């Protein structure tokens, strides 16, 4: 049985329209998750360790103010296009589109005011909540009126996130949730003792601005071979890596498949990621620097969390040999990611 509760969380600042932000609490026997109508943000995700003790395993803030100020997309749904678009530019049907540049020379996670920074309209479901918004033609430079639905549903140990969209004009779209996890509990110093595996035979090398070069490289014999579990801290040391911020290329197909698994031996907590998406961005919180005060006034230093963002490949709109990122009028964008929590 899943219970769903809604409550007030705060009001947007007057300059942002002053709308009310609600929080939705989804609870099963083994998982408790809190989600805001602002940015579809997962603010809390509590799951049991092997002794049955609950801990909150996602980074975030105690108040709305934390989320309305600048932060690295904690827990939010990002779009219209997750990840980076080179120089914030792409061409469709002979017309060039220019997006807002917010990450070096590139556009990242939807631009200046992406899906993470807006209020969504909520609808309570028996085991979850569905959010809707219309992204108008020209918003952040993207073409077409885009109707978007994001549905969170909780069933036992499994949290499903479904993304659906329809457009009035051809537009690139790639949606993901940008939760930062630490299975030891948020506020723990690092994720070096986590064991991770990713079911990917190839990954995308990037240039110094984190844009894929276009090469699809085999992981075999490199530090990107995570097909067998590795202990993160030791693995970074062994391969002299500063961290990961790379897209791993998943086996193509529309069916649900297991793509990543993280195990935290001290607590026994395990998280599996299943998805229908063609890629997963593995990010180890390299840009966290201890300057943000999070929940319970803890600070979040470098490598104190990891993200596993299921999505299309970065800059796919400019790379014809990458999986198709364009949604046409009359078609439906429909992808689901499942997070499954257990103990070992």
- pLDDT tens digits for the chain (344 residues)? 999 999 999 999 898 888 999 999 999 999 999 999 999 999 999 999 999 999 999 999 999 999 999 999 999 999 999 999 999 999 999 999 999 999 999 999 999 999 999 999 999 999 999 999 999 999 999 999 999 999 999 999 999 999 999 999 999 999 999 999 999 999 999 999 999 999 999 999 999 999 999 999 999 999 999 999 999 999 999 999 999 999 999 998 889 999 999 999 999 999 999 999 999 999 999 999 999 999 999 999 999 999 999 999 999 999 999 999 999 999 999 999 999 999 99
Contact 121, 131 (CB under 8 A): yes
Contact 72, 60 (CB under 8 A): no
The three-state (H, E, C) secondary structure of 237-303, written as one string: HHCCCCCCEEEEECCCCCCCEEEEEEEECCCCEEEEEEECCCEEEEECCCCCCCCCECHHHCECCCC
DSSP 8-state secondary structure symbol assigned to residue 169: S
Task: Give pLDDT, residue 241.
Answer: 97
DSSP 8-state secondary structure symbol assigned to residue 138: T
Contact 130, 302 (CB under 8 A): no
- What value, to the nearest 5°, has the Cα angle with vertex 224 and ends 255 and 324? 40
Tokens of 312: 């299309």
Annotated ligand binding at 178? The verdict is: yes
Please tell me the total number of residues recorded for the chain in this structure: 344
Annotated ligand binding at 84? The verdict is: yes
Annotated ligand binding at 305? The verdict is: no
Nearest to 114 by CA among 88, 91, 151: 88
Contact 72, 288 (CB under 8 A): yes
Annotated ligand binding at 247? The verdict is: no
- Tell me how far apart the alpha carbons of residues 340 and 156 are, in angstroms, rounded to a whole number: 9
Annotated ligand binding at 245? The verdict is: yes
Nearest to 327 by CA among 339, 342, 316, 338: 316
Tokens of 271: 């998280």
pTM of the complete model: 0.97
Strands of 20-27's sheet in order across: 3-11, 20-27, 31-36, 42-48, 54-56
DSSP 8-state secondary structure symbol assigned to residue 20: E
Tokens of 48: 């049991």
Nearest to 198 by CA among 108, 113, 287, 263: 263
- Catalytic positions, written as ranges: 178, 309
Q: Which fold has domain 3-192+279-343?
A: Beta-galactosidase; Chain A, domain 5 (2.70.98)
Nearest to 171 by CA among 93, 285, 274, 246: 93
Tokens of 19: 């709308």
Task: Give pLDDT, residue 312.
Answer: 98
């Amino acid at each position: 049985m899943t219970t769903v509760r809604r409550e007030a969380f705060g009001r947007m600042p007057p300059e942002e329209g002053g709308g009310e932000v609600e929080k939705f609490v989804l609870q099963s026997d083994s998982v408790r998750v809190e989600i805001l109508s602002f940015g579809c943000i997962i603010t809390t995700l509590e799951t049991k360790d092997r002794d049955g003790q609950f801990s909150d395993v996602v980074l975030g803030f105690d108040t709305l103010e934390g989320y309305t100020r600048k932060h690295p997309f904690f827990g939010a749904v990002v779009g219209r296009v997750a990840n980076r678009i080179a120089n914030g530019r792409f061409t469709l049907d002979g017309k060039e589109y220019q997006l807002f540049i917010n990450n070096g020379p590139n556009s990242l996670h939807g631009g200046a005011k992406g899906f993470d920074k807006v209020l969504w309209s909520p609808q309570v479901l028996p085991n979850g909540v569905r959010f809707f918004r219309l992204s108008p033609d020209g918003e952040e430079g993207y073409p077409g009126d885009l109707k978007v639905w994001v549905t969170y549903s909780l069933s036992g140990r499994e949290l499903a996130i479904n993304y659906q969209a329809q457009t009035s004009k051809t537009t690139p779209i790639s949606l993901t949730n940008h939760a930062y996890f630490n299975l030891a509990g948020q506020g723990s110093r690092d994720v070096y003792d986590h064991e991770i595996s990713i079911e990917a035979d190839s990954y995308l090398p990037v240039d110094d601005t984190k844009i894929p070069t276009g090469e699809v490289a085999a992981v075999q014999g490199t530090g990107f071979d995570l097909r067998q579990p590795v202990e993160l801290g030791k693995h970074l040391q062994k391969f002299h890596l500063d961290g990961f911020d790379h897209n791993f290329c998943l086996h193509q197909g529309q069916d649900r498949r297991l793509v990543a698994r993280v195990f935290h031996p001290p607590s026994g907590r395990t998280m599996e990621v299943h998805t229908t998406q063609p890629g997963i961005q593995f990010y180890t919180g390299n840009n966290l620097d201890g300057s943000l005060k999070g929940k319970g006034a803890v600070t979040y230093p470098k490598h104190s969390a990891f993200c596993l963002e299921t999505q299309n490949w970065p800059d796919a709109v400019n790379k014809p040999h990458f999986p198709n990122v364009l949604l046409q009028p009359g078609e439906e964008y429909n992808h689901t990611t499942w997070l499954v929590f257990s103990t070992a």
